[in-house]
Amino acid sequence: MKNIIQATLIIVLFLLASVQILPQNNLVGKIINKEEANLLFGSVTQSLPFRTDQLASLLPESDKYVMFQIINGNIYILGEKRNLLFPQNGSVDDNQVFQLLSKSLLLELFAMGKSPVTFIEKRGNVLTISNEDYILEFTYPCPPFCSPQN
């Protein structure tokens, strides 16, 4: 029995090592409509507003990816090297899990929704970002998946 478990574990580890974690185009996330988000992830349990223009002004600080998390009722935003973009005087633990997504998809969300306010939301354990009727989800947790090189 022990040999079967070890063999299974080795096969699973081999398969995980051979799978590319990020998609070929290096886009992380997907924009869906609010109805689909409600079906997939449930209703919003926590929602924090953020001015879209203020959020967009933080994005040049990061090349391709940005990370979000709600900690103790506050929005935290990191650049792709886990540098703190918001709040300015905040701090986060290196092991705190953030949700990584493509900056380009976030900009696409703003263009599609056209709302001056974007919401960082929790739907159970899932973090989503919404602008009008559009939701950005299917992010990756960082750690462990903090960059396309992982």
> What pLDDT was estimated at residue 2?
61
Instruction: Provide the whole-model pTM.
Output: 0.81
How does pLDDT run across 30-46, given as a tens digit for each residue?
999 999 999 999 999 99
Beta pairing, strands 134-137 & 30-33: antiparallel
Beta carbons within 10 angstroms of residue 13's beta carbon: 10
How does pLDDT run across 4-61, given as a tens digit for each residue?
655 454 444 443 433 334 445 689 999 999 999 999 999 999 999 999 999 999 999 9
SS3 per residue for the chain: CHHHHHHHHHHHHHHHHHCCCCCCCCCCCEEEEHHHHHHHHCCCCEEEEEEHHHHHHHHHHCCCEEEEEEECCEEEEEECCCCEEECCCCCCCCCCCEEEEEHHHHHHHHHHHCCCEEEEEEECCEEEEEECCEEEECCEEECCCCCCCC
